[in-house]
Each structure stands twice: as structure tokens, then as C-alpha cells.
Amino acid sequence: MKEFVLDDRAVRDDLFPFSLIRHVADIRIGIVTIREKWEILLDQRVTLHSDHRLSNDSVIVSANIIPSNDFVSSLVQSGMDVACIDFDVCKVIQYPWHIFHYNDWALRQDFMMLTSKRISASIPDTVHFTNPEGIFIEEGAELSHCFLNASRGPIYIGKNTEIMEGSMIRGPFALCEGSIVKMGARIYGATTIGPFCVVGGEIKNSVIFGYSNKAHDGYLGDAVVGSWCNLGAGTSNSNLKNNAEDVKVWNPVSERWGNAGMKCGLLMGDYSRSAINSTFNTGTVVGICSNVFGEGLTPAFIPSFSWGHQPVEKYEFEKAIRDISNWKKLKNQVVKHEEIIQLKNIFKQS
């Protein structure tokens, strides 16, 4: 069996801030991460590129390719010759806004991949639903007096999740393991809520990575939120400019603006948080480990380890680690030594 390697060296900088603390293959889009998609479709473990010596049988593929069943089938049939593959049956995330641009497609692909030849748990009697064939509920999920509309796309409800009363969900949508949708939430497709998150309010066409919270009212649209983030009550983002022009997004690594299209909301890196009633400007990029607070709209870019935004001050590293540790305790997790070393290196460079 050939070693299958996912290489992100050529794309890491363009996917700031979500590639700062993770390999690009560990970005979540659809229901599972890019790495998990490859492993399920190939039925083998994949390797992330490192400095170790690769064998002559290694197949190296760019980590920003979002595979489909058809794409992997053609790859296998070609003898793992990437040069012979039809890239029309996959997607490629080159910039961070592509995560929500392609999430609709990825949700549908993952839904078919994860539910094929499987039987969903029963939909509870108190749940109002449309198109039950497009709804899949894993074991341990709790749903009560909510609305599930799968007429526009599939709805995947993961293990040990909870959807509280009055929530209205329109597919395509995924609620990953251990996450909670609070009472009265309004969620439009295409939205992914990663594992062990808590969400509420209004959410549209957004991806939230694991262990993050948007637990209260406020609008999140055309957005990507990293892991271990928290949006305070009333936090909202703008996703459309008042003049309806295309949204420009700043990349501090390349030091240039990118065109994200007509709609782009918040792009928030891991371990960052916002105070209550924070208002994120259209196409705002927040680095990692930032504590965002202050009056008025945020600037278009908030660097990593920022404290406030008017003016921006530097977050003290020891205080940042202490605060991250406190947030992790709320979800029965601890800060690992490897995380501290990684964050310290980023702190020194920010």
C-alpha cells in the first residue's frame, strides 16, 4: 500500500489565520476535516507532510484539495497519478473564505459519505420536519420541539448533540458530536457547527470549528470561526458592504488584499474571543489568541495576541495562556505543553 501524504507548504500562508496552529488538512469543511475525508474515502491512514524521508511509493497531494468519492475513485484508477485526475470533481480551498464558499458542496458530499447504507435514529415525535430522507440522526442526540427543514439540503445531527426547543434549522447543516443548539436559534444553510460547541441566535452559511461558542443572540453570516473561540452575547458581523461592492480581506503574511466576493463576514482565528455587543466589520480578520473589545466597528484586521481594538494593545503571553486555560476548563480540557510552545513561537513573531 502506497503512503499517502498531504502537503500544505505551498498553501499555508494564504489560509491565514486557520493554518497558524494546524495543518491545512485539519481544517473542517462540510462535516469532517480534510484529513478525515481522505482517510474515509481511501480506507487508510494518511500522513501529513513533515521533514521525514518519504518513500518512493509516497503519493503527495496538496492538503487544500477537498476530495469527493468520484475524485478518489479516479485517483485510484489512475494508479495514484495526480497529474491524470479530473479536478472538476473536487474543490480547492486557496483562501479562508473558500471554506464557507464551498461548505454547501462539502456538506452534501460528506452527508452521502457518512450515511451511505446506514440507518438514522428515529426523528422524535415532537420535531417538525420536512424531507426525512435528508435527515440523519446519530445515537445519543436529543431533539425536542424544533424544526428541521431538509428540503434545500441534508441535515446531519451528530452523536450526543442537543437541539433545544424552538430552534429552526434549514439544511444543508451539520451539528457535530457533543454540540448544543440553544432555544430559539435560527440557522440557515450551509452551516457547520464543529464538535463540542454551543450556538444560538442567527447563523447563516458559516463554519465553526470545535470547542467554540456563539451561544447568544447576534448574527454570524458568511463566516469562519476557529477552535476555542467565544463570541459574547449580542456579537454580530456584517457580511455585505453598504455599497454592495466586493469585500476585500487583508492577509498579513502576504501583505495584500484578497477579493472574497460580494459577501464575507468574520474570519476569526483560534483562541480568540469577543466582548458582549461586539460589532465586526465586513470581512474582518482576527488572528489567534485575541481578546476583542471596544466601541464601534472593528478594524478590518486585528493581529494575533491583541488586547482590545481601540487602540490595539499586546496581550501579555502569561495572561493569554491563563485565560485559555480557564476556557478549556469549562469544557473539561487542559492546555497541553505542546500548545504553549507553539503559541509562544507565534507570540514572538506577532
Q: What is the pLDDT of residues 101-127, one digit of tens each?
A: 999 999 999 999 999 999 999 999 999
pLDDT band of residue 52 (cuts 50, 70, 90) is low
Cβ neighbour number for residue 205 with a 10 Å cutoff: 21
Q: 6 and 38 in contact (C-beta within 8 Å)? A: yes
Q: Which CATH number fits domain 119-349: 3.40.50.970, 3.90.420.10, 2.160.10.10, 3.40.30.10?
A: 2.160.10.10
**In which band, very low, low, confident or very high, does the pLDDT at 350 lie, cut at 50, 70 and 90?**
confident
Cell of residue 63, nine digits: 492538503
Q: What are 271-286's pLDDT values in tens digits?
A: 999 999 999 999 999 9
Question: Would you kindly state where each structural domain of the chain is located, as residue ranges?
Answer: 4-94, 119-349
Evaluate whether 65 touches 106 at the Cβ level (below 8 Å): no
Q: What is the pLDDT of residue 151?
A: 97
Task: Dump pLDDT digits (tens) for 327-345.
Answer: 999 999 999 999 999 999 9
pTM across the whole model: 0.94
What pLDDT is attached to residue 149?
98
SS3 285: strand
Pick 166 or 189 by higher pLDDT.
166
Q: Tell me: the pLDDT tens digits for 214-258?
A: 999 999 999 999 999 999 999 999 999 999 999 999 999 999 999
**Rounded Cα gap, residues 68 and 316, in angstroms:** 43
Q: Is the pLDDT of residue 50 over 80?
A: no
The least confident of 26-40, 52-66, 170-184, 300-314 is 52-66
For the segment 190-213, the average pLDDT, to the nearest whole number, is: 98
